A = this chain, B = another copy of it.
């Protein structure tokens, strides 16, 4: 698994999205050029990526939309449903719950937890917010696969440990800190403050070449 790079997986996600669009348009075949579109990927990269997974287009005809969609869907694990618990019903948690688009991709929210008494019992995006005190019991009972951590940094590590102990096998982390869990539990972290800081860094360096020179990374 470690051999398939994160960037390959991201390209597969992209192809899958294009295939869904094209399927909705009623098209039956798709070219590597169309699959590459909008992502700055070359057609050659598309053909290379897909050949790894055993799928080969036919010259002049391209790939079968339905077949390729099923194939990539299976590789990405989108041919099944995933049970998701969301911990933290603040802004980020609420945004995720209100978005709704994840259910279409196979990600079903089975429980939402928060420890704030003002949030417990409320409904967000159709989901009732439950007391974090019940996290261990309900996460296990509902067979959650994926835990989304949308809590403040403080407490996120304890939540991660509780989720893994309750059977969660992967974590999507929005808390602004690194989480430590067993090596076989994949964690993906989305840190919006860091994204902003990465931008302000890039803009600052672009403005002051002096800093740019002094700040070179030899790595």
Contacts and interface: CB of A to CB of B under 8 A. Distances in A.
Q: Classify the interface of chain A: helix, strand, loop or mixed.
A: helix
A5 B192 contact: no
B195 A188 contact: yes
B198 A13 contact: yes
Given A96-B192, A101-B193, A54 B214 contact: yes
A82 interface: yes
Given A13-B197, A195-B190, A169 B203 contact: yes
Interface in A159-197: 169-172, 176-178, 180, 184, 186, 188, 190-197
Contact of A199 (B16, B38, B186, B191): B186
A91 B94 CA distance: 8
B172 A216 contact: no
A127 to B, nearest CB: 14
B211 A8 contact: no
Contact of A52 (B8, B39, B188, B215): B215
A57 interface: no
A44 interface: no
Contacts of A91: 94-96, 98-99
A105 B157 CA distance: 24
A12 interface: yes
A197 B76 contact: yes
Nearest to A179: B38
Interface of A: 1, 3-10, 12-14, 16-17, 38-40, 52-54, 74-78, 82, 91-92, 94-96, 98-99, 101-102, 105-107, 145-146, 157, 169-172, 176-178, 180, 184, 186, 188, 190-206, 211-212, 214-217, 219
21 contacts: A1-B206, A1-B212, A3-B212, A3-B216, A4-B201, A10-B198, A16-B197, A40-B178, A75-B204, A75-B211, A76-B204, A91-B98, A99-B192, A105-B193, A105-B197, A107-B200, A146-B196, A146-B199, A169-B206, A186-B198, A190-B190
